[in-house]
Amino acid sequence: MTYRVCFVCTGNICRSPMAESVFRARVAEAGLDDRVEVDSAGTDGWHEGEGADPRTVTVLRENGYGTGHTARQFDPSWYARLDLVIALDSGHLRALRRLAPTERDADKVRLLRSYDPAAGDDPDVPDPYYGGADGFDACLEMVEAASTGLLAAVREQVEGRAA
């Protein structure tokens, strides 16, 4: 049975596609790509059908990650097939929990940085869209740091299903 994870930011062109790409690579490195499906979306549809922001693509390429992506808007009907919905900041967390059709679905939503013990009191991955390239580098660092803990949590769930 496939375990499904969807990363969500605002427009699905910066943070969530970056997180999707990094986590997909981590899943593959762990040998779980046949059991874990990774996806992303935005809370809003402003960029639907577009590729990732060119600065996201650049940072991903420079760091050896895949870059294929088409933006889309999160649909509440997806909760039925998703196991985990990863919000990139607290605003997305609130929006996604409001969209959840049931309390069980709302419980599937988690903040990405909650998987990074070093995040401390700063649970959000800031939106780099209105800044320079350094914001995209910082975003990637946060995503990579949190992906280690997220992978451990997902591995535990996947292995628990197999037992």
Of the residues 9, 14, 35, 39, only one is catalytic, namely 9
Q: Is residue 15 among the annotated active site residues?
A: yes
Active site residue 127: yes
Residue of 118, 110, 120, 117 whose CA lies nearest to 90: 110
List 15, 26, 55, 155, catalytic entry: 15
Inter-helix orientation angle 15-29/54-62, to 10°: 30
Q: CA 114 → CA 117, 121, 153, distances in Å?
A: 7, 10, 11
Is 98 noted as a catalytic residue in this protein? no
Catalytic member of 33, 44, 127, 137:
127
Residues marked active site are found at 9, 15, 127
